Structure formats: structure tokens, C-alpha cells
Amino acid sequence: MPKRIPPVPVQPGHHFCYVCETPLPAGDFYQRRGKPSSPCKACAKKGPERRAAFLALIEEAREEVRSVFARRPLPEPIIPEYQPMDGFARWLERERKKQAGKRKPPTTPHEPLSGPTRPEETL
Ligand SMILES: [Zn+2]
């Protein structure tokens, strides 16, 4: 933040309060990092009162916004025709039916495999 220049000349040992707009002795200010901090002690005590006016304005504006949105009806919720991933679920169902159709009926469980056979092992 740029340094503010007081509109009136300030004597050494004095400090300018930008709230009450008067140069005051440094003892009338709270010290912050060894320097007098603006505003002066009297104005700093009145700070909440000064802020209350702004907060009231802000609250008034918020009430106005709330009343505007309260009058507006809520939009209808958009309900999807299908549940999420339903397309995938239907596709998977179709694929499983296709696979089931292609699959041969199970043969005898102990059907010998074709190919070279190993000589019988003797125990
Ligand atoms: Zn002041």
C-alpha cells in the first residue's frame, strides 16, 4: 500500500489520523512495530461503530438478493431417463446373451484330449 501523505503539514513527534483528520501527538496512537498506527486511540475505539454502518448496508443488500431469489421458483430437477452406466449394463447383458448363444453345450467332463499320449508310468 502506498504511503499516504497528510493533507496538512504535521509537526515532528505528531502523527496524522486519517479518520478524524487531525494531527495528534504520537502518544495518542497505539504503537505497531515501534511506529504510531493510524487511526488514533479514540478513533480505534469507535471502529466497531463506524463498521456497523457499512455492515448494515451490506446486510440490507444481502436481504435484497435473498428476497429476489426467494420469489423465483426452484427449477425442476433433471432426472435422467436411465441410471448412470445403464447403457453399459444393457450392452453387457446383450454381450452375455450372445456369448451364451455361441457357447457349445458342455461335453462329457472326462473326455480324453487328442494328441500324443505319454507312456504309462509305473509306480
Ligand atoms: Zn482519529
Distance 61 CA to ligand 1 centre (A): 29
Indicate the range of 17-26, 63-72, 77-86 predicted with least confidence. 77-86
Q: What is the Cα–Cα distance from 114 to 116, expressed in whole angstroms?
A: 7
Q: Is 29 exposed, middle or buried (0-12, 13-18, 19+ CB in 10 A)?
A: buried
Higher local confidence (pLDDT), 108 or 8: 8
The structural domains of the chain, with segments of one domain joined by +, span 1-74
How many angstroms is it from 60 CA to the middle of ligand 1? 28
| pLDDT (average), residues 22-35 | 91
Q: What percent of the chain has pLDDT over 90?
A: 45
* 12 CA to centre of ligand 1 in angstroms: 17
For residue 59, the CA-to-ligand 1 centroid distance in Å is 27
